[in-house]
């Protein structure tokens, strides 16, 4: 069966990669249109399967179709292809100069694994699938067992878009099954790349499998992180209560089931008592909402139980596991010296649990920064003079994350051109990539150069006339002019 899937996807690829950009873009828009038309059918099923509230799922549908439209526009616009032209010079001495033209080309069939915490935006028609399709790659999508019916409904929408766009059916193939099926997909010789959003264990296992193949392939696994928040005295002095509120709000939203959930906050000892009190006040009545499925709730409470055995922690709020499906928030305090002594305190707890780390000196904070594992995001709450004083700390923290925030909270990842949702290992397996925003498309493409290719054979992006009117680099200069 898996051979059939990949043969169909590969055959589709050889056709799909040559489909003109505007038709590819129309196909993507068609997916969004059909999804939107089926909103009232899909949303209740996703709500039921994910335990997420209807408002949230409705919002996620908007995010999903919104990012599809972003990629459709990018495909039409075409500059993501990085078209680069070094015209030839037959008169160059001592050797004539060849005409060389380079652009990105899609890699081939991509295996995508969706995430349980975003049944729409990071799943079947989510960012990974759509950015791969936008790049020109067929997708073999492994449905997430936590929302099987949602995945089938969305897959059916994509399938309809494939048919109505006259594309080969192998452009998108929906597969259901367990871990063994997922492994077999990644190991198939015709798979050319893998995208995954989920746990460290899952992502790392796929990464290792892909590297042991006869032909290793890229794995873009976004595996989450603890997204530390660094706070500084002067800023806390002025904004202590709103910051504590913002922090607790970001931590507990959606029962903390976000890759960018801020599970770690560094607070100076000068303000620890006041900040702790403000957070306690804010968090005390938050019961938490139902988690995605019982397995996730169980893992959450097991982590909390483990931390309860650690004497270094002082509890600000203990989880109330009365209704076990609810992700009751929990908050504990630890001294920086204790935090520094054991890497277990850097482990992500998927859910609304946070450690407040109390630091005594800038030196202790610097040690913590140096010891920090790779993160999707790091947030710095300081006023401008104290941030300037901490330039050396910022310099270190840049090496530890993909996105550095100076206001607001890390949850709520904007979909745009400048977003970076990725970071150094172990937050992802490939810090060169983003899984949110325009940059995501480039994960599924590689450069190819054509040397002395006849104009009739050149792809549109590289023709002298620049029929796509895209920004290109010609002799090293950016231009939309024809040659």
Site for its own copies in 137-166 (CB under 8 A): none
Q: Which of 33, 49, 60, 222 is catalytic?
A: 222
406 binds its own copies (CB under 8 A): yes
Q: Do 85 and 79 form a contact (C-beta atoms < 8 A)?
A: no
Q: Which of 3, 54, 320, 452 binds its own copies (CB under 8 A)?
A: 452
Q: Where are the beta strands (DSSP E) in 304-418?
A: 314-317, 330-335, 353-359, 375-381, 401-405
Site for its own copies in 285-324 (CB under 8 A): none
Site for its own copies in 361-380 (CB under 8 A): 374
Taking the least distance from each CB to its own copies, the nearer of 119 and 439 is 439
Q: Which of 79, 187, 245, 367 binds its own copies (CB under 8 A)?
A: 79
Task: Report the nearest approach of its own copies to the CB of residue 330 (Å).
Answer: 27
Q: Which of 1, 311, 476, 481 binds its own copies (CB under 8 A)?
A: 476
Task: Report the nearest approach of its own copies to the CB of residue 106 (Å).
Answer: 9
Task: Report the nearest approach of its own copies to the CB of residue 31 (Å).
Answer: 21
Task: Report the nearest approach of its own copies to the CB of residue 363 (Å).
Answer: 16
Task: Report the nearest approach of its own copies to the CB of residue 262 (Å).
Answer: 13
Site for its own copies in 167-226 (CB under 8 A): 207-208, 211, 215-216, 218
Q: Which of 259, 282, 348, 364 is catalytic?
A: 259
Site for its own copies in 455-474 (CB under 8 A): 456-457, 471, 473
Token representation of residue 370: 């140096």
46 binds its own copies (CB under 8 A): no
Q: Which of 184, 337, 366, 396 binds its own copies (CB under 8 A)?
A: 396
Q: Which of 117-125, 140-148, 286-294, 411-419 is the region at the interface with its own copies (rule: CB under 8 A)?
A: 411-419
- Respond yes or no: is residue 333 known to be catalytic: no
Q: Which of 40, 93, 201, 407 binds its own copies (CB under 8 A)?
A: 407
CB atoms within 10 A of CB 280: 14
Taking the least distance from each CB to its own copies, the nearer of 17 and 152 is 17
Taking the least distance from each CB to its own copies, the nearer of 315 and 478 is 478
Contacts of 384 (CB under 8 A, 6+ apart): none
Site for its own copies in 338-357 (CB under 8 A): none
Site for its own copies in 429-448 (CB under 8 A): 429-432, 434, 438-439, 445-448
Q: Three-state SS string across the chain, please? A: CHHHHHHHHHHHHHHHCCCCHHHHHHHHHHHHHHHHHCHHHHHHHHHHHHCCCHHHHHHHHHHHHHHHHHHHHHHHHCHHHCCEEECCECCCCCCCECCEEEEEEECCCEEEECCCCCCCCCCCCCHHHHHHHHHCCCEEEECCCCCHHHHHHHHHHHHHHHHHCCCCHHHEEEECCCHHHHHHHHHCCCCCEEEEECCHHHHHHHHHHHHHCCCCCCEEEECCCCCCEEECHHHHHHHHHHHHHHHHHHHHHHHHCCCCCCCEEEEEHHHHHHHHHHHHHHHCCCCCCECCCHHHHHHHHHHHHHHHCCCCCEEEECCCCCCCCECCCEEEEEEHHHHHHCHHHHCCCCCCEEEEEEECCHHHHHHHHHHCCCEEEEEEECCHHHHHHCHHHHHHHHCCEEEEECCCCCCCCCCCCCCCCCCCCCCECCCCCCCCCHHHHHHHEEEEEEECCCCCCCCHHHCCCCCCCCCEEECCEEECCCC
Q: Which of 173-181, 250-258, 301-309, 393-401 is the region at the interface with its own copies (rule: CB under 8 A)?
A: 393-401
Taking the least distance from each CB to its own copies, the nearer of 136 and 327 is 136
Site for its own copies in 11-30 (CB under 8 A): 14, 17-18
Binding letters toward its own copies, positions 93-132, x by CB under 8 A:
--x-xx-xxx--x-xx------------------------
Taking the least distance from each CB to its own copies, the nearer of 351 and 424 is 424
Size of the site for its own copies (CB under 8 A): 76
- Respond yes or no: is residue 157 known to be catalytic: no
- The residues annotated as belonging to the active site are 222, 259
């Amino acid at each position: 069966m898996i051979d059939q899937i990949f043969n169909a996807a590969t055959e589709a690829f050889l056709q799909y990669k040559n489909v003109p950009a505007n038709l590819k873009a129309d196909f993507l828009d068609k997916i969004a249109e059909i999804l939107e038309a089926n909103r009232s059918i899909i949303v209740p099923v996703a709500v039921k399967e994910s335990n997420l509230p209807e408002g949230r799922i409705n919002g996620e549908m908007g995010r999903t179709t919104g990012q599809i439209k972003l990629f459709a526009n990018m495909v039409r616009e075409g500059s993501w292809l990085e078209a680069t032209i070094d015209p030839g010079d037959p008169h160059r001495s001592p050797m004539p100069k060849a005409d060389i033209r380079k652009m990105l080309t899609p890699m081939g069939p991509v295996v995508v694994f969706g995430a349980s915490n975003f049944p729409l935006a990071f799943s079947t028609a989510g960012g990974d699938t759509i950015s791969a399709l936008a790049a020109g790659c067929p997708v073999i999508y492994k449905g997430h067992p936590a929302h099987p019916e949602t995945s089938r409904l969305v897959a059916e929408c994509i399938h309809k878009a494939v048919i109505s766009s006259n594309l080969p059916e192998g452009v998108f193939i929906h597969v259901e099954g367990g871990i063994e099926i997922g492994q077999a997909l990644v190991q198939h010789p015709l798979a050319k790349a893998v995208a995954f959003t989920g746990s460290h264990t899952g992502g790392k296992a796929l990464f290792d499998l892909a590297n042991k193949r006869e032909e290793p392939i890229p794995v873009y696994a976004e595996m989450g992180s603890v997204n530390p928040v660094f706070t500084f005295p002067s800023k806390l002095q002025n904004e202590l209560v709103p910051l504590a509120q913002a922090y607790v709000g970001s931590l507990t939203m959606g029962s903390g089931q976000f890759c960018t959930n801020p599970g770690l906050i560094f607070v100076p000892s000068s303000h620890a008592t006041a900040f702790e009190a403000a957070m306690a006040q804010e968090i005390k009545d938050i019961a938490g909402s139902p988690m995605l499925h019982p397995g996730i709730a169980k893992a959450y409470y097991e982590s909390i139980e483990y931390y309860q055995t650690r004497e270094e922690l002082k509890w600000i709020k203990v989880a109330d596991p009365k209704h076990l499906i609810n992700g009751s928030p929990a908050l504990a305090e630890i001294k920086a010296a204790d935090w520094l002594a054991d890497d277990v305190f850097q482990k992500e707890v998927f859910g609304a649990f946070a450690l407040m780390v109390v630091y005594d000196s800038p030196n202790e904070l610097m040690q913590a920064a140096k010891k920090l594992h790779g993160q999707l995001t790091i947030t710095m709450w300081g006023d401008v003079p104290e941030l300037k004083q901490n330039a050396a700390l910022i310099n270190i923290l840049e090496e530890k994350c993909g996105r550095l925030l100076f206001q607001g909270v890390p949850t709520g990842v904007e979909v745009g051109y400048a977003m970076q949702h990725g970071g150094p290992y172990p937050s992802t397996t490939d810090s060169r990539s983003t899984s949110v925003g325009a940059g995501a498309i480039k994960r599924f493409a590689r450069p190819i150069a054509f040397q002395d290719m006849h104009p009739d054979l050149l792809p549109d992006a590289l023709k002298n006339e620049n029929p796509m009117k895209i920004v290109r680099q010609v002799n090293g200069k950016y231009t939309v002019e024809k040659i």
